[in-house]
Structure 1
Amino acid sequence: MHTLAQLRAGELSGITRLDLSCGLTEFPNEIFQLADTLEVLNLSGNALNNLPDDLHRLTRLRVLFCSDNQFSELPACLGQCTALTMVGFKANRIVTVPGAALPPQLRWLILTDNRIENLPRELGERPVLQKLMLAGNRLRSLPESMRDCHRLELLRIAANQLNELPQWLLTLPSLTWLAYAGNPLETEADAVALEATPLIDWSALRLEQQLGEGASGVISRAVWQRDDGSAQAVAVKLYKGEMTSDGSPLHEMNACITAGLHPNLIRVEGRISGHPDEQQGLVMQLIDPSFGNLAGLPSLDSCSRDVYAEDRRFSAEVALRVAQGIASAAEHLHRQGITHGDLYGHNILLNDRGDCLLGDFGAASFHATRDDVQTRALQRLEVRAFGVLLGEVLARVDSGLSTERRLALEALEQRCCQADVLGRPAFSEVSEILQNL
């Protein structure tokens, strides 16, 4: 994090990224002195409510973060920034989004946790829009113009006031990762599954070291003192109350429970009761430390695509085991009326043998279990996510895969990613093809 004193003293000359979080109430004019080099500007965590009309003087600015400020309107000056591709205004007080505020090369827009009721027609006129995060607003509809967002891959519209998903949305050729939980349109979680999940009293748990922290909660290693006197090592996830970019953490908890048992899903042991702060949480299977993430999170440059280590390679056997396991897990979820919404390599844990687990249900949504056009379309969006994953894994298999099998897998990848949503195979067919290979 940089300081205002450094900026004013000229110590930051030539930098490409500036991070300032120091209670700012006005945009520091000294930032314009960095116009020749500045590409990423992060002003999150201040008290700003406007930006200068001549922001476009920052001619190289590609990325702007202004989350956790006091904006009530997305600044119109952003639309004049011709190099700007990523805009993040999460957790402000934004009610109004003028069409003029949307930069012409907008690729990634984050407006999570605001007060937006309507979006402008111009949103559908941004040809490179790829990632759109709108969870936690007051939207009742999406602009009809968005039917032309043919490059849109990731859409987060959870926790709004949508009564239906527009038919055109489920025909978008590139849409891959969709989260819509917490809207009136969503089918409710399986109450039977929720009620059948054992309650585990907080007093029976002894937390040890923290294992990780994400947007929705904190995971810790713990010891569970069972009623029969035995002790079991487990993982405890305590959920935060805030809105995440995917949606509500409590929807994530319900999806984890409703998902049920599958060898490629992390097992839920029970729900926590009696927490002193009434915090919600789950007790889950503790994952062996030999498991690690398949991939890294998307970067500012990769936008909606995972990042893999340059030396990341897989044997043919491991690649096939991962593909089979994840396809089987996704097929299981769809039978329970759940779309994962975030089927990505960074949400998959695996070991050297190719044993794998699909985790992180933060973007999961519920749908009807009956077979109809909408249900099939929602499921086929997830099939495209699998196709993307399959392609990423195949690109990192150097040997051990015969030409015939590689061609068959590449053909499967192409079918899963084809533009015609309903023309993609169901996961039952995907699993059958993989088993035959």
Structure 2
Amino acid sequence: MSQPVAGFSKLDKEEKIEWLSSQYLQDNPEAVKILKQYWNEDPKLQQLHDEFTENTISNFYLPFGIAPNFLINGKLLAIPMVIEESSVIAAASKAAKFWGSRGGFKAEVLGTKKIGQVHFIYSGEKQKLERFFNKLKPQLFSSVKEITRNMEKRGGGVLDIELREKTDSLANYYQLHCNFETKDSMGANFINSCLEKFAQVLKDEAHNWPEFNSEEKEIEILMSILSNYVPECIVRAEVSCPVEELSEEGGMSGAKFASKFIRAIRIAEIEKYRAVTHNKGIMNGIDAVVLATGNDFRAVEAGIHAYAAKDGNYNSLTHATVENGVFKFWLEVPLALGTVGGLTSLHPLVKLALEMLQKPSAGELMEVVAVAGLAQNFGAVQSLITTGIQQGHMKMHLMNILNQQQATPEEKKAIIEYFKRHTVSHSSVINQLEKIRQQ
């Protein structure tokens, strides 16, 4: 039976693996071999990876792929994508090719404001607190001058600080709601440093405010933290073309395609069971680029899904119309991204990914990421309303099935050739593989 371990973080990597093997891997030498075979051969590079997080024992690899031929605002790009799911990069690349001959993608950053909050408890008269805050506000700005100096040189900094009352939701709960501009930095550390300073000044100065009684002077700071919900840090991506240019090779007219496509999008706008899967497909494209460029995909996911529910119902992030014979398909999403700081200057593949994208600003990266999400969604919906999602997906998934069955190179070649003419399913692949092995 496994036992608790003391001082695990102080063990070196070999000792951590030895403990893990004895406690949970039945001293399996093959398991230890697998962990070690993913170590980087360069000790300095491995140390760099080890120090990205804690208690590192190995590296977890994901495929790093490229979706070429993206024409974005007149500029042709190859988009780096890190993802393990079959058909995602293929679908994005197909959509890029489709729209590349129809004017390409248009993208625009609509806002870059980010949010942070100081959450606190104040037991007293609201009017007193408001007068105190109005007097304190200039001091709050000046208190972070050392923190904001470099950011202000780049055009960023603290934009505004508001006092917000939330006592209808929680007794005596107020907050400082703060707006920031962080330029090419994602800005989490910058924002949090400012917020903690605001909290300190708020608490300290409350003791000196003559209007407060002894209880009111004791403002309780609960927490100071940025928000990953950034509804004013928005980017829009869209495509458009005359309806007749949407005609499918299978014989579907452009008008029929547009009609089916718009109704499919409409279903995602009104039916949350569909909307969740619909938006997950969008995130296939978005997350893959966010990961490749060293940004925080968990923060992006949380913020985007909150945005999808901003009106009280969870619905589609993409929308489509036909007006005056022109089909238009677009996406608006909140994206707080950075191209400086964090992993962007440390991880070798992240630096290479940003170089592939021609060293974009944070705003330009927002545009690329939004376009990847829009392209992925177009490819998915296009498949759904024509051939069905499984035809293309399962052919891409075929190699995963063959690898699971440890197929030889000769078996893979024969199976791939067979399924050029037949429908792929897990059971049909297994059956055909068994036939080949019996022969």
Under a length normalisation based on structure 1, what TM-score does the superposition of the two structures give? 0.28
- Ranked by relative contact order (alpha carbons within 8 Å, sequence separation 6 or more), the top structure is 2
Bigger radius of gyration: 2
Under a length normalisation based on structure 2, what TM-score does the superposition of the two structures give? 0.28
Larger helix fraction of residues: 2
